[in-house]
Chain A
Amino acid sequence: MSVHSRPVPRPTASRAVLRRGLRVIGSGIRAEPRPFAVAVLGSVLWAAATVGTAGAIGWVTDHVIQPAVQERHVTAAGLWTIFGVLVAVLLVNVLGVILRRVFATVAGFNLQARYRRRVTRQYLRLPLSWHHAHPSGQLLSNAHADIEATWQVFNPLPMAIGVLFMLVIAGVMMVVVDPFLAFVGLLVFPGLFLANLVFQQFMAPRITRAQQLRAEVAEVAHESFEAGLLVKAMGREEEETERFARSTYALRDSLIEVGRTRGIFEPVIEAIPTLGTLALLGVGTVQVARGDLDAAQVVQMAYLFSLLAFPVRSLGWVLAEIPRSVVGHDRVRHVLESEGAMDYGPDELPPASGPARSALSGVTYRHHDDEDPTLHDVDLVVEAGTTTALVGPTGSGKSTLVNLSLRLVDPQGGLVELDDVDVRELAQGVIPGAATLVAQQTFMFDDTVRGNVTLGEEATDASVWEALRIAQAEGFVRAMPEGLDTVIGERGGNLSGGQRQRIALARAIWRRPRLLVLDDATSAVDPSVEQAILAGLREARKGTTVLVVAYRMATILLADEIVYVEQGRVVDQGTHAELVGRCSGYADLVQAYAREAAERAAVEKSEEPA
């Protein structure tokens, strides 16, 4: 069960990383301009206060403390001045930090939530074939880890902008003091830029791989937990753990690689401003020795620079986040830009309350373009008010036919109609409003019995109970501790397969569809219960057209018309009596048990005398 790495992210061209990262950031700012602006405002306040603190201490030292110490006398007013000035700067600082951090968080999480909504909308919009091609765990990772990776950069971003602001102030002050010295000091920036370019080049492919492996870990976990019962039944816990270990260790190794790269980058980014300070001191001293510059000016410049040493690291944090952001964004974009979502037409069905008519003509369907068709040129008409049984060997294409008739998938060729309207012309929601499917495999929502029947629509208890009664589910639901309000849970809790099937049936019956499609929907229900369900349906389905995939005689015999399908083709259709007489495939299929019983009886008889 190898994990397939699917071609999700385009390989990230490393040189473009910074540019593309800035573009991602730009789109984030455009999406959340207000919180971002407040955060930047806070950051500017903080930056001003940080520079201001040193100034304030210098000012009170010069104007209050030094005179007081010299005079050996200090007034209360003097002390209050010291306190007041410092606290004023502090308040600005604290206010700045609160605004900066809180609103950076708000912007970041708003963006995450916005993208999660977009991505999950896309999951709901994309066709089933797309879902089949994408592991659930990967989609989980796209919706969570990748979106998180994309917008994490908004945490350090406002601070970095504040730092840039500080740098501009410091740069202007330095240029004012001495342009040449400023030039030496500001050489730091090309240095930072260069270091960053090299870093991005190494980082981008590593991060790409790490995010991919993160998704893979989620994939294996999701699939393996879904297979929990099987893993247990086959005693494959060890093998599954090994499979998970392969992905986990690959992720570990790739994260360590990321760590090595970051591990180099961060000290370098930190060292560059310090080296800048030292260069400035060296050049400054030479200039002072030459008499070009005042020593105090050099000291002031050095002080300005050292003040920046710590905050400049936040620039490093932003730069370090950028590859992750770009890679996350690429992976998310892959989902957002996936195409193939069904297009819906504008039409409604002609107003009618009676049973619906379903018709397929000349339909051809392939799962993949390179494969032989699953269905060849199929014609199937289910007249309004009739019951049609679809019979055929396992894998003959019955489920595909059923899915086509409800437009869960579109055929490559041919026409599918509901009430004589091309289903592609119908508006979204029109088909589910008229036609309902009970699939082979039941799916339960993490919800109550009521929620699973009504799927959130307004309903009276009586109507829900009635649907449950027809589906022969009333008895066991009544026995549940909280009746209709019992939470079933995603995996159907303690319900047996047959009980879940009956709730799924009730879900369909409650909606009183004009076309009811049962895809072998009673396979887990025993025959007597099935009989009761079918009898109930016969009562309730007046006004309903039924298309049923079935193997059991009781079900087949309910049908007005039987369509026999084999290898993607309609081989014959008619009544049971007609088909048994002329269609050998059909006869073989439905008489298999009887033949089997007869043969066994014959064998037993021949053994008896002995």
Chain B
Amino acid sequence: MSARDRSRPDQEGAAEEHGRTVSSRIEAQSGLSTLGTLRRGLELSPELRRGIALTVVLAVVATVGRVIIPFVVQQTTDHGILAEGGPDTGFVLRAIVLAAAVVAVTSLAQYLVNVRLFISAESGLATLRLRAFRHIHDLSVLTQSTERRGALVSRVTSDVDTISMFVQFGGLMLLISSAQIMLATVLMLVYSPVLALVVYLCFVPLAFLVRWFQPQLGEAYGLVRARVGDVLGAVSESIVGAVTIRAYGVEDRTAERLDTAIENHRRSAIRAQVRSVMAFVSGQAFAGLTTAVVLVIGTWLAVQGHVTLGQLLAFLFLVNLFTQPVLMATEILNELQNAVAGWRRVIGVIDTPADVADPGAGGVHQERGPIAVRFEDVSYAYPGGEPVLRDVDLRIAPHTRVAVVGETGSGKTTMARLLTRLMDPTHGRVLLDGVDLRRIAFDSLRRRVVLVPQEGFLFDDDIMANIRFGRPEASDDDVALAVTELGLDSWVDGLPHGLRTQVGQRGESLSAGERQLVAIARAYLADPDLLVLDEATSAVDPATEVRVQRALEGLTRGRTSVAIAHRLSTAEAADLVVVVDRGRVVELGHHRELVGLGGVYSRMHDSWSAQQRTSTTLP
């Protein structure tokens, strides 16, 4: 295994350095063509095709029924009511009963078609939503952060909703309409080939017009989708930023930003709709013109004796049979472009490569136990930026408690993120027990390695549920025990409903320090082999921090832990202090060794201990 490991970085290194510097953003929309989008859409939602054969049969029944009914009505009037020698009551009644039966069959078929379509459409779209949701979580933190939350939400909500209209009716109606067009064509050819030719010649320009309209519509609807994303992005900002907006009194400015997004959406939506109306109306105009031209030429043909008046009027009925599905089809093509615009955005997310991906089936599953970490010549640069971490070489033996210290922006958080594989190095590799992180299966990695970030996110639920997030199978008692072991029980007891206290949206009913305490308890409960703390107690008061720190030392004894901290008490207690300065590891060793070195660490420590001394000096 180690030989294979060693062979990898050289091969990959070059490719990575070129490949990764390209910023990986979420695609605004996929670049697929309309047909390509449809194909991909059907592939992503196989339910859309499931049982379609029977649905088509039922739809044909319903359509035939709809054509038959006016025909029967016409026959009834022609041969029943207007029968020579007075109305034929018996015939009329028989015809009415027949027609009523056809209506019943048609309605039943239509009902079944509707239900089947609803089921397949909603099932297919649910699958699509889930797929997109999951993929967004599979994207790296960096890629996720290229899009606003609200806009990201629109990709699994309103963008998907946009597709539903089309997949419920449009797709099928397009098939039926095509069938009806072909049927009408055959009938027209039988009645009068010349007039059929006339009809087709009239519709040739429409075909070009439709083709001309389609990409324009696609673009217009695409813009609408993007604008919806903007609106949701702006609304989300105004909600999540509520405190800042009020504290700075920038309600008016926020309102302006919202108004701009809302107005842009309104304009784009109207513009797209106007284009769609124009596309539809041009179809209608051609249909009307066709009728007029057929009547004119038909009259001339009738005068010449090529057709009878009866034939001409019957042919007009066929023209109607032909133009109606054509109109329907242009309408559906408009709707199609709307759906494609939604689809493109959802597919755009799904087809954005997950740049920090699970190795999949070949991933290594590691045993639980003490963990050794190795940074091997690791560098990292954000896309398009200067390296924030350079040539880091670091070995962390099992059971070691490491403190990483350094100034803000020196690359500490980057180290934590590389260590937990929230990002992959642009150069070099990070190894856990000798295995490249990129080769370890995610479920194995996440069980062994847990990061507690600085701003611990809480879900809108109670404290109990938020701590349990670390280990979903933990019982209430386990959670309570973890809280006690961390010495947080007195804090919890002081809360209005103890562990059952609701934390509010994003945990905002708690203070930042309290949120950090919950986040730590969560990680404590998760019980990882390697615990990475990124300023995890920065907002907690010193007495509580010391208490939590001691408890964590109990937890980390026998394990490996990496803590990033500004409070150097953490460094004093660590087995190994890693001093980072401007992206490089500049000092390495135990606090005792480093403090007298006269380097970066001793300077930092001097200023820290000077502060602490003042806390005890009495006047």
Contact = CB atoms under 8 A, between A and B. Distances in A.
Contacts of B134: 237, 241
Contact of B302 (A69, A237, A492, A553): A69
B247 A406 contact: yes
B148 interface: yes
A395 interface: yes
Interface in B87-140: 87, 89, 92-93, 96, 99-100, 103-104, 106-108, 110-111, 114-115, 117-119, 122-123, 125-126, 129-130, 133-134, 136-138
A248 B491 CA distance: 37
Contacts of A595: 546
Given A86-B291, A222-B236, A267-B111, A241 B510 contact: no
A529 B407 contact: yes
Interface in B22-77: 69-70, 73, 76-77
A594 B613 contact: yes
Contacts of A238: 443
A499 B409 contact: yes
A441 B512 contact: yes
A499 B117 CA distance: 53
A79 interface: yes
B505 A131 contact: yes
Interface in B238-258: 238-251, 253-256, 258
Contact of A577 (B118, B504, B506, B618): B618
A489 B608 CA distance: 34
A481 to B, nearest CB: 7
Interface string A494-538: 101111001000010001000000001001111111010000000
Contacts of A478: none
Most chain B beta-carbon contacts within 10 A, residue among A89, A112, A239, A277: A277
Nearest to A407: B246
A569 interface: no
B535 A497 contact: yes
Contacts of A141: 157
Interface in A384-406: 392-395, 398-399, 406
Contacts of B203: none
Given A284-B81, A437-B247, A490-B237, A131 B118 contact: no
Interface string A91-113: 00110011001100110011011
B398 interface: no
B299 A497 contact: no
Interface string A279-296: 001101110110000011
Nearest to B316: A57
B605 to A, nearest CB: 10
B238 A124 contact: yes
A249 interface: yes
A260 B253 contact: no
B269 A87 contact: no
B511 interface: yes
Contact of B465 (A1, A398, A597): A1
A238 B99 CA distance: 55
B393 interface: no
Nearest to A80: B296
B114 A259 contact: yes
Nearest to A278: B96
A286 B249 contact: no
Interface string B540-582: 1111111001000000000000000011010011000000000
A256 interface: yes
B115 A259 contact: yes
**Interface of B (DSSP majority class):** helix
Contacts of A240: 137
Interface in A451-497: 455-456, 476, 479, 481, 489-494, 496-497
Interface stretch (B3-11, B185-193, B449-457): B449-457
A139 B235 contact: yes
B491 A395 contact: yes
A61 B114 contact: no
B263 A252 contact: no
Contacts of A262: 114, 118
Given A72-B303, A82-B292, A145 B114 contact: no
Interface residues of A, number: 191
B262 A145 contact: no
B342 to A, nearest CB: 13
Nearest to B266: A113
Interface residues of B, number: 193
A55 interface: no
A455 B248 contact: yes
Contacts of A72: 303, 305
Interface stretch (A12-20, A175-183, A224-232, A415-423): A224-232
A201 interface: no
A436 interface: yes
Contacts of B99: 274, 278
Interface string A549-562: 00111100100000
A592 B469 contact: no
A268 B103 CA distance: 10
A34 interface: no
B2 interface: no
Contacts of A4: 460
Interface stretch (A21-29, A114-122, A345-353, A355-363): A114-122
Contacts of A1: 459-461, 465-466, 469
A194 to B, nearest CB: 16
Contacts of B484: none
Contacts of B455: 441, 497
B343 interface: no
B228 to A, nearest CB: 7
Contacts of B281: 94, 97-98, 101
B152 interface: yes
B153 A137 contact: yes
Contacts of A554: 611
A431 interface: yes
A581 B82 contact: no
A93 B288 contact: yes
A217 B346 CA distance: 16
Given A4-B460, A236-B469, A441-B455, A132 B505 contact: yes
B265 interface: yes
B288 A256 contact: no
Contact of B510 (A148, A395, A398): A395
A592 B546 contact: yes
A332 B435 CA distance: 54
A408 B144 contact: no
Given A112-B266, A145-B158, A281 B92 contact: yes
A285 B526 CA distance: 83
B239 A252 contact: no
Contact of B569 (A259, A271, A596): A596
A443 B292 contact: no
B445 interface: yes
A606 interface: no
Interface in A576-610: 576-577, 580-581, 588-597, 600
Contacts of A497: 413, 454-455, 535
Contacts of B232: 140, 143-144
Contacts of A252: 122-123, 125-126
Contact of A256 (B119, B142, B280, B447): B119
B221 to A, nearest CB: 13
Contacts of A105: 269-270, 273-274, 277
A529 B408 contact: yes
The 3 A-B pairs at the shortest CB distance, nearest first, are namely A235-B446, A432-B249, A259-B118
13 contacts: A82-B296, A105-B277, A234-B526, A235-B447, A278-B103, A281-B80, A299-B77, A302-B77, A528-B604, A580-B615, A588-B543, A593-B612, A597-B572
Given A136-B240, A281-B92, A523-B538, 6 more contacts: A105-B269, A248-B130, A278-B100, A446-B148, A455-B250, A577-B619
